[in-house]
Amino acid sequence: MTARSAESDEYPPCGASSALLAAFLRALATLCILISALPAHTAHSIVIGVLAHRPAHEVAQRWHPLAAYLQEELGKGITVRVIALPYDELEAALARQQIDFALTNPSHFIALRNRNPLSGALVTLVPRAQGSGALNSFGGVIIVHPQREDLRTLGDLVDVHIAAVGPFSLGGYQAQAARMVDSGLPLPAAGRLSFVGTPHDRVVDAVLGGHADAGFVRSGVIEGMIAEGRLSAGAVRVLAAETLPGYPHQLSTRLYPEWPLFAAPHVNPDTARRVAAALLLLDADSPVAQALDIHGFSAAADYEAVERLLRSLRLPPFDGAPQFTWHDVWQRYLPWLLAFALSLALLSAAGFRTALLKRRHEQTQRHLAATLNAIPDLLFEVDGDERFIGVHTADPGQLYAPAERFLGCTVAETLPAEVAAVARQAIQEARLRGRSQGHRYALSTANGLRHFELCVARKEGSASTSPSFVCIARDISEAHQTTEALRRERDLFSTGPVVVLNWAPDLSGRVLAVSSNVGAVLGYSAAELCAANVRYTDLIHPDDVIAVTQELQACMNAGPDHFEQSYRLRTGSGEYRWFHDATRISRNRDGAVDAIRGYLFDQTWLKTLELERDAQAAALAKSNAELEQFAYVASHDLRQPLRMITSYAQLLEQELGTTLSGDTRRMLDFVAEGATRMDEMLVSLLEYSRVGRSGAPLSDFPVREALEEAIRFLEPAIAESAAAVEISGEWPHLHACRNELVRLFQNLLGNAIKYRRAGEAPEVHIDASAHPQGWLFSVSDNGIGIEPAQRERLFRVFQRLHTRTEYEGNGIGLAISRKIVERHGGRIWIEAGPGGRGSRFLFILAPRANPTPN
């Protein structure tokens, strides 16, 4: 390895050339210019410090021709000396102003310039290109062993061991590092990075020797080693190779300007200008350039790229943390700060919302649990296989068995067979139609035998799960009982003969509802009757409808709240039948009619009987009337011829008086007596027929007065027989015919006196008292009494138990008495007297007798 290639990074190559003469002439001319320009007092020495990247004496020796050249160019009064100093010593010498000019690598220049008041770059070294002209820039190369197939891209360098020249080497480390940073890769880690120092060949050796996976060298090093035969072509492979048109070397990084030469601050500007001019005028073909193996010097390059590189790598002088103000942060990271703040806000909001949702969820859970606990029904859920997966009840007594026994078991396994059948049918319906309702079952629970109604709803599962079923069992035992009672009651009505109708609470005649037995009773269906166009009154017989309507209207107009009527209705067969209608009207608080309900009962059979009876009664009354008329006529009209018989019998007796024999006279007496008896009988008969005919007006009067009047009529007989008459009891006022009641008491009292026992004074007791059917009157005596078998016969006309000779009378009195009593709605009968002696006549009169005139 020659020094030239080894130093090609940090040190411009030097070489030899011929054209000495031309250079000499040009240098001479330059020198003349410089000398003439130099002021007299500028005669002094100039020291040029060169970075000693190699042993100092080697470097100093190499650059000696430049010193000689400059000394020659600047004039004899000025001595020019080149010294080689390592990094730190060069820096120290500059700081102490012990050197006037310095030539070092660009990154070192930047570092020095930031620490010392230096001039800018005066000129830039232009090395000689390989076999050609100038080369203004250089870069870095990344090399790997050609067999390392795993190392292909920059990214592959991250975890491998790298050999580099040194941390301040632009071509041997910094350029490559910057390239990695530029590509978004991290800098090689300290543990994987070895700085092997100059010359750069060491890096190549480290890679080829397997001490490192990759190496960083200056551009041109590889080509130089190959040219000198120290490296075969293809011995190393260049990673991330760039092919730049016209650039002669392989390259992996950006290009950077070559070494600058710059002046210390104390250097006279004129001196600096003259040195720069001398260097710029150095011809590539001059012996000096040849000796230095350089192309020459160019106008100072722009070193901003190097400065940026150092900044990006945080290398001196930019190794300190940059001064960032909040303003810088704000300016530079505004979008990120905003994004971060937004993210934070979103995150906070999301967290807050999550917490809020969690709280709401808990509230909802509590609310749901409270709601569930408030539901009195039994809730359970079964899966698609009818297996219980949840049971909930606020009252465990509703359960057939403890809840734990349900879970995991099927409906069929858990419930009694008949209940399970109902439940499974409900679930099946819900499976097909989404829900089912109304299934009922009875079950023995801890609360006893209870009735339940089951409602099942299908609960859709996710795409992967089958639906489950939510079942609600409601205890309807009370409702069931009510329903049963209602059903029985309905049956009671619907099966009986009474039709219950509900009319509209107006006079429209519309039927709102009717009991279901209407078909059997009336021959209409309930629907027919309740049709909007049907008026109940249209069914009523035309002869009856007015009465019914009027009655109903009267009730509606604040009349009685019920009425009862019988009328004819046209039945479904078209036949009219008699119905008894008990109508009840209910009113609301305001008195308005809110319901009219009728209870219809078919009484056609009864009505038929009634009509027949009325007809018979009418016929009977007519017959009686005719008979009475006959009796009256007979008794009245028969007396006239009888009076003729009596009269003529008396005339005969007077005419024939003395001529009559005893027999004839007796016969004539028989005629007269017969006629008299017949007349008496006719009078009695007439009197009997007159009861109820003469018709004294009815009036209210004290019955006691009638009795007392009767006693006055009988005064002579009472006195004659020394009868004792006792009156007791509570005597009422009655609405009756006074004369007839006097006659009644007269007949009964008279009989009591007349039929007395011989030699015994009659004792008569008359009493009156209230009776459930009216008033009970009795006339008791101590007379001869009446055989029970004869008692009924005595009330017939002309019936006697004794001969006229024993007791006077014609047997009409009791018949008249019975007629009077019956005419006043009462009845009369005979019992044995008190203590079995005598007789007692009893009769009852209705409290308000309403005698029917004959």
Q: Which residues bind another protein (CB under 8 A)?
A: 136-137, 139, 182-183, 244-247, 254-257, 301-302, 304-305, 308, 311-312, 331-332, 346, 349-350, 353
Q: How far is the CB of 250 from another protein (least distance, A)?
A: 13
Q: How far is the CB of 217 from another protein (least distance, A)?
A: 18
| Between 126 and 499, CB nearer to another protein | 126
DSSP string, 340-391: HHHHHHHHHHHHHHHHHHHHHHHHHHHHHHHHHHH--SEEEEE-TTSBEEEE
Distance CA 630, CA 841 (A): 30
Q: Of the candidates 554, 552, 557, which has an alpha carbon nearest to the alpha carbon of residue 567? A: 552
| Between 66 and 255, CB nearer to another protein | 255
Q: How far is the CB of 131 from another protein (least distance, A)?
A: 15
| Between 78 and 126, CB nearer to another protein | 126
539 DSSP assignment? G
Contact 95, 116 (CB under 8 A): yes
Contact 434, 469 (CB under 8 A): no
Contact 124, 260 (CB under 8 A): yes
| Between 207 and 255, CB nearer to another protein | 255
Q: How far is the CB of 243 from another protein (least distance, A)?
A: 8
Q: How far is the CB of 323 from another protein (least distance, A)?
A: 15
Q: How far is the CB of 167 from another protein (least distance, A)?
A: 21
| Between 245 and 574, CB nearer to another protein | 245
| Between 189 and 244, CB nearer to another protein | 244
| Between 256 and 578, CB nearer to another protein | 256
Distance CA 777, CA 745 (A): 10
| Between 295 and 510, CB nearer to another protein | 295
Distances (CA, A) of 616 to 23, 195, 599, 850: 182, 155, 30, 21
Q: How far is the CB of 169 from another protein (least distance, A)?
A: 18
| Between 8 and 751, CB nearer to another protein | 8
Q: How far is the CB of 316 from another protein (least distance, A)?
A: 18
Q: How far is the CB of 165 from another protein (least distance, A)?
A: 20
Q: How far is the CB of 342 from another protein (least distance, A)?
A: 8
Distance CA 767, CA 58 (A): 182
Residue 766 has φ and ψ, to the nearest 5°, of -115, 130
Distances (CA, A) of 549 to 354, 509, 513: 77, 9, 19
Q: Of the candidates 408, 467, 472, which has an alpha carbon nearest to the alpha carbon of residue 440? A: 472
**First-to-final CA distance of the chain:** 178
| Between 179 and 568, CB nearer to another protein | 179
| Between 331 and 533, CB nearer to another protein | 331
What 3-state class would DSSP assign to 545? helix
Q: How far is the CB of 355 from another protein (least distance, A)?
A: 12
Q: How far is the CB of 307 from another protein (least distance, A)?
A: 9
HSE of 242, CA atoms in CB hemisphere, 13 A: 19
| Between 153 and 629, CB nearer to another protein | 153
Q: How far is the CB of 350 from another protein (least distance, A)?
A: 7
Which burial class, exposed, middle or buried, applies to 748 when counting CB atoms under 10 A from its CB (0-12, 13-18, 19+)? buried
Q: Of the candidates 149, 214, 148, 206, which has an alpha carbon nearest to the alpha carbon of residue 185? A: 214
Distance CA 781, CA 726 (A): 10
DSSP string, 175-216: HHHHHHHHTTPPPPPGGGEEE--SSTHHHHHHHHTTS-SEEE
| Between 110 and 675, CB nearer to another protein | 110
What is the distance of C-alpha 104 from the center of its chain?
88
Q: Of the candidates 597, 609, 611, 603, which has an alpha carbon nearest to the alpha carbon of residue 569? A: 603
Q: Of the candidates 455, 458, 454, 453, which has an alpha carbon nearest to the alpha carbon of residue 433? A: 458
Q: Of the candidates 255, 267, 260, which has an alpha carbon nearest to the alpha carbon of residue 300? A: 260
Distance CA 635, CA 619 (A): 24
3-state SS, one letter per residue, for 624-652: HHHHHHHHHHHHHHHHHHHHHHHHHHHHH
